[in-house]
Amino acid sequence: MEIDRFKQQHVDILQGIAALRKFSQAGIQENATEIARQVKALGSVVTLHLAVEDRILYPSLQKGADLKLAEMGRAYEEDMKGIANEFIAFSRKWSVAKTVAEKAEEFRAEANSVLKVLHSRMQRENTEFYPAIEAA
């Protein structure tokens, strides 16, 4: 199975997380407009990535002959549901500059929590899941 598109989306997502970290460290209130723009952009990439996984990747693994890979896909799909819901709520809440500026410390706390989980998930897929798919 060709997964280069998924891997590139991971690069884009990880770059988006890094950009948010950079702007946040430079000052949340001072960079609220750019942070909100980055949250919105990251939300678009993550939403696209989730949709493609749900429509193409997971169904393909379920139809494949490799039962271990099919089970791994099911586990990753199930695990992603909670992560996706949290991220989507985060993205909706923090894509408005005024909200980011007015609630800077709340943004920082939520970003640290939600983006850490998302980052960890991307890394697990990059080191465990995608190599298993490529090896099959």
> Where in the chain are the domains?
4-135
Dump pLDDT digits (tens) for 94-133.
Answer: 999 999 999 999 999 999 999 999 999 999 999 999 999 9
d(CA 37, CA 60) in angstroms, rounded, equals: 34
d(CA 77, CA 112) in angstroms, rounded, equals: 23
Dump pLDDT digits (tens) for 61-75.
Answer: 999 999 999 999 999
**Are residues 1 and 133 in contact, defined by beta-carbon separation less than 8 angstroms?**
yes
pTM here is 0.91
3-state secondary structure of 3: coil
**Are residues 80 and 21 in contact, defined by beta-carbon separation less than 8 angstroms?**
no
